[in-house]
Structure 1
Amino acid sequence: MPGEIESEVLLLGGTANRGRVVRVGDTVRRPQRASSPATHALLRHLADVGFPGAPRFLGVDEQGREVLSYVAGTAITPPYPAWALTDAALVSVAHLLRDYHRAVSTFDPTSLPWPPSPPAPFAGELVSHNDVNLDNVVFRDGRAVALIDFDLASPGCRVWDVACAVRLWAPLRPDRFIDDSRRGRALARLRLFADGYGLPGADRERLVTAVRQNHEWSYDIVGTAAANGHAGFADYWTGGTRERAERTRQWYLDSGDRLRTALL
């Protein structure tokens, strides 16, 4: 009926904004942050250049929440469906990330209030997404079609985003922490992602260091938020995550040569 108020539907996934992101019709409403003006400028640029793989920024609602277009499809949340862990799905994420980097390469990020950038030398090339987690990629018909949740996007680089994505999607961690069909295939999937993205040879050497530093950078964000009283991150951090993070970091240090060989 005309004038009828559409109901809010809670969207699952994510940690930072858990319980605070809702769907209203064909839009998504999310809390704003100090860096929201930068994110909105980025999303406007992606729309202007015709990149279809990101939500559109539509404005701010009467409650002060940012309003984004709803991206139809499936974001990958536990329990992970088998099709999302296939090599074909992995390669489609690599293709989507490559296309995003092409679209964002003409965006000028200067004079905008970004969140902290990745560490040197992985900052300043372009605005990287910085959080290509499974629940931040939308699939349709088994293929990755869009990135969502640009809250951590900031001036970074291509190799940093590849490191973030392949670390989580391969995944790159000890087999004891992999309990699905990807177990035992981390190195093969690392190579598959790099090849699918088209990562140049010089960047493959940098990728091994970027993976370890991305792991440390990401868990520093988690640990800091938990220490500052963020309930979602505190629950995540105290549920065995701290031990897994440290053991995985040591695995990166011990497995550097194996990772490099897999990328040759």
Structure 2
Amino acid sequence: MNEVETPLLGGTANRGLVVRVRDTVRRPIRASSPSVHAVLRHLESVGFEGAPRFLDVDAQGREVLSYLPGETVTPPYPAWAMTDAALDSVAILLREYHAAVADFPAAGFSWLEPVPPAYVDGLISHNDPNLDNIVFRDGVAVALIDFDLAGPGSALWDVAAAVRLWAPLRPDADIHDARRGRTHSRLRRFADTYGLDEPDRHRLVEATAANHLWCMDYVRRGAANGHRWFHERWTTGEADLTTRTNTWFTHQTPALQAALLQ
């Protein structure tokens, strides 16, 4: 009996390849998938509810994960997703994930995309807390999805990745929603809500700029290697936005640092 497959929207690397079947999600397997499955099993074993469960591999060779009901944030962004309350809930979810994954043994696994060594302390960070990789219910972030880029990193690296996207940290002219003009206050708010410690707070702006370079290089390489959706993304504005944002970080770092530490 054929099961109904409903495509799930969002994402770039697996666009068009992720489907819902009843209360499960089917996704492509990668070389690093066994490592990701081990992380998901660990999160289940410690009772962390904010991630999908790994269930099986189906007859088509796809990983089978539990479906997490709720909403992800895709364009056009809903007003509730741009609020400080939503931002706070992302910071809290990320902190809870880091506590749950803290004792996962990282040695002996293979991962997809290495994090710069300066931001690796052994914690398995999610590394891609994009707007469409977080599930919300009633405006509150409740789960992380898409662990494809997970691997040895640090809490600082994940906070940098999240605040870069959720504040967001980019030129005001490239922010086209209610977050425009609020970069500094949202940066500070995220760090405060997460409870970032003093040493990491002093490194956060530097880490965010490094995370931008890391992420955009991943997209650029995907485009160069012929990935259809990475190529479309890179050639329809992402390359120019990357250059503008790199320049912006160069000029704005002192102001961002001051906003974070005041």
TM-score of the alignment, normalized to the shorter chain, above 0.5: yes
Other-structure match for 1:243: 240
Other-structure match for 2:257: 260
Q: Does 2:181 match 1:188? A: no
Report 1:157-236 matches (<5 A): 157-236=154-233
Aligned amino acid, residue 33 of structure 2: S
User: Quick one: distance in 2 between partners of 1:91 and 1:125?
Assistant: 25
Report 1:93-108 matches (<5 A): 93-108=90-105
The DSSP-based 3-state class of the residue aligned with 2:106 is: coil
Aligned amino acid, residue 122 of structure 2: E
- Taking only aligned residues, the RMSD between alpha carbons, in angstroms, comes to 0.7
Q: Does 2:87 match 1:123? A: no
Contiguous gaps of at least 5 residues in structure 1? none
Structure 1: 4+ residue segments shifted above 6 A: none
Other-structure match for 1:45: 42
Q: Does 2:17 match 1:20? A: yes
Out of 68, 81, 85, the residue aligned to residue 65 of structure 2 is: 68
Q: Does 2:146 match 1:146? A: no
Q: After superposition, what is the alpha-carbon deviation per residue over 1:173-224, rounded to whole angstroms, capped at 9, x for unaligned?
A: 0000001100000000000000010001111111111000000000000000
Contact kept? 1:129, 1:161, Cα under 8 Å: yes
Q: After superposition, what is the alpha-carbon deviation per residue over 1:124-152, rounded to whole angstroms, capped at 9, x for unaligned?
A: 33000000000000000110000000000
User: Quick one: distance in 2 between partners of 1:125 and 1:95?
Assistant: 21
Under a length normalisation based on structure 1, what TM-score does the superposition of the two structures give? Answer: 0.98
Contact kept? 1:125, 1:158, Cα under 8 Å: no
Under a length normalisation based on structure 2, what TM-score does the superposition of the two structures give? Answer: 0.98
The DSSP-based 3-state class of the residue aligned with 1:138 is: strand
The DSSP-based 3-state class of the residue aligned with 1:191 is: helix
Aligned amino acid, residue 165 of structure 1: A
Contact kept? 1:223, 1:233, Cα under 8 Å: yes
User: Quick one: distance in 2 between partners of 1:117 and 1:48?
Assistant: 26
**Quick one: percent identity of the two aligned structures?**
62
Contact kept? 2:51, 2:144, Cα under 8 Å: yes
Other-structure match for 2:30: 33
User: How many aligned positions are there?
Assistant: 261
Contiguous gaps of at least 5 residues in structure 2? none
